[in-house]
Structure 1
């Protein structure tokens, strides 16, 4: 694999760390600024919404900028946002820093996915994408626990300063290792928008929202679920999240490898398995060992969907992949926000801390249904059927008998 993928993975590691580490230092941040925990939670919500909005906006603004230079600019924005967070004198400034950093998230992964796929042979695209996302998954194993430890023992400001330094390393890596990519002539806004006429692109994005939403329906409430239901001590939650992160690493690598061989079967297995495991989590959550194994499986099956879904968007947005790829990254965060909200509703309704697992199972099962529908829509026509399976909109179009195509 090209060394340029290492630079992308370093940037992804920094982004993954800053996205999730705030959950580990939220009490310290709330205490320093004198705000409540729910108010401090806006730092999580604000970041997620910033990703959803920033993914298409930053990509559109960068359509006239060569991809390598745009990746460098995005890392610069990421560094600035984390430095602002580290030095914020008020909670409002801290929130602003989080939003600034989040604006780089979706566009970096979206453009980075296109770059990663361009650097390798066609049969290795999903694996290359998974290599970049390995940085994000490893962040949950190393970056988030370490950042939480530093934030609790020293200061959360030191944590965000270190994350900014990771951004500098990513910026330098992109500048040195990523080759020059096509300039403005290769990325035109009108062409990029045309990808959203393709039904297959829209279906893949819907699968992203529902599939990964299923993961975060459960994981968002993992702390109260594990302490109140499974009986773990508060301090054990960090290591349970490490197990989740290890599952993410394994699932990401497996998903990337098998998506290059059989993309749709990989999606069937991962989404179907995820729905089953999430449903079983309502039972296994009552046992320490069983719940720990289940958490790792959720991370593995959930992230096994990422490379194939990202590659599917790229495959069906050929000639105009950049914006679609970035918007699909925003779809992951939209799924996170949607599932966290739905999970909160069922808990507030008095259904218990394990109820979000049923929400996640339904979301994942819905994504599986869309995967089957997507495959049915792109089946080649049977012999003698005058249909065109390659229509740019992704909709089968009948060709009148007796006519020919030139």
Structure 2
């Protein structure tokens, strides 16, 4: 991407990077859950997504500065160098881990594409669509509706990112206790924050607090959402972990497109109430799906003594459930 001589090559390179991103996040989730062991799934997932949140808080402003001072090619080159360093760190420090459930692709697909998992994945698409219908145009909303000067918008976005990182780590601990309840509470908090921002968004102080609450709730629910997907997938946990990332990205893309159409047709002031309405629909779906349980595991498995102890215990719990 950094060496691209035209827009076509640049877009193709970014698409490849996007494909790699989805693989990395899904694999990192599976590895983290496997290394953490039983009872720490939510915290393990929160480390993965909390790392993404912290990196976003730090990387976006740093990348912007590098791009402004040295050009966009320098910014992309820096990303490539950091990626190479991350690759070396993974090769040296991350040990091999056991698969979460079925070893065959058919067994993974059977669990990952079960009705309970598909229901939660559909809810995730709606949830992220609502959130990013508003977030994609948050800077414009703050400038036009709240009246924040352009140079101060970054402070609001920093507050959002910092709260998102904190929410991710806190949400991971809560998800280990009650993932379904954490997901419902986070979705409710997100909906209330967006609705309150619509009603009180003309006040700069109120907007700052509500944007932070939005980040806290909107990203605090992510570990619980991913935990529910992996839990409901049973033997398809590895594959389902990547589907959760795909659902989130699909919602982000849909939200950006819907927000763009809304801004063009009705103005930037309408994206926040529209996002709140969509998140309310997601909240209803989350509440309805709180009692979902994993589909029965019919995948043939080897004898328990051939499995790692923690994996055998997890499978036993799944069968009992």
TM-score where L is the length of structure 1 = 0.70
Aligned equivalent of 2:290? 375
Match of 1:391 in 2: 296
Which of 265, 269, 274 is matched with 1:359 structurally? 274
Matched, 1:322 2:225: no
Partner Cα distance (2:269, 2:116) in 1 = 34
Does the C-alpha gap of structure 1 residues 186 and 170 become closer, same or farther in structure 2, counting only changes over 3 Å? Answer: farther
Q: Does 1:273 align with 2:189?
A: yes
Gaps of 5+ in 1: 1-84, 379-388, 394-406
User: After the TM superposition, which residues 69-148 of structure 1 pair with which residues of structure 2 at under 5 Å, given as runs?
Assistant: 85-148=1-64
Distance change (3 Å), C-alpha of 1:197 and 1:137: closer
Query: How large is the RMSD of aligned CA atoms in angstroms?
Result: 1.9
Distance 1:320 1:377 in 2: 16
Structure 1, 283-292 or 164-173: larger mean CA deviation: 283-292
Q: Deviations over 1:82-106 (max 9, x none)?
A: xxx1111111111111111101111
| CA displacement at 1:182 relative to structure 2 | 4.0
Name the CA distance, whole Å, in 2 between partners of 1:196 and 1:180: 22
Q: Could you tell me which runs of 5 or more consecutive residues in structure 2 were left unpaired when the two chains were aligned.
A: 299-321
Counterpart pick for 1:175 among 71, 86, 91: 91
- Distance apart, 1:115 and its partner CA: 0.8
**Is 2:222 aligned against 1:306?**
yes
Number of residue equivalences: 297
2:134 maps to 218
Counterpart contact for 1:282–1:358, Cα < 8 Å: yes
Q: Secondary structure at the match of 2:254?
A: helix
Alignment correspondent of 1:296: 212
TM-score, normalisation: structure 2: 0.87
Q: Find the aligned partners of 2:41 and 2:282 in 1 and give their Cα distance.
A: 23
Contact 1:195 1:317 in 2 (8 A): yes
Deviation readout 1:260-289 (Å, 9 max, x if unpaired): 011111111110111111111112321211
Q: Take 1:150 and 1:349, find their aligned partners in 2: how far apart are those partners? A: 35
CA separation in 1, counterparts of 2:94 and 2:52? Answer: 18
SS in 1 for 2:123: helix
Instruction: Report the Cα distance in structure 2 between the residues aligned to 1:290 and 1:240, rounded to whole angstroms.
Output: 11
1:11-38 C-alpha deviation (Å, 9 max, x unpaired): xxxxxxxxxxxxxxxxxxxxxxxxxxxx
Q: Which has the higher contact order (CA 8 A, sep 6+)?
A: 2
> Does structure 2 conserve the Cα–Cα contact (< 8 Å) formed by 1:140 and 1:242?
no
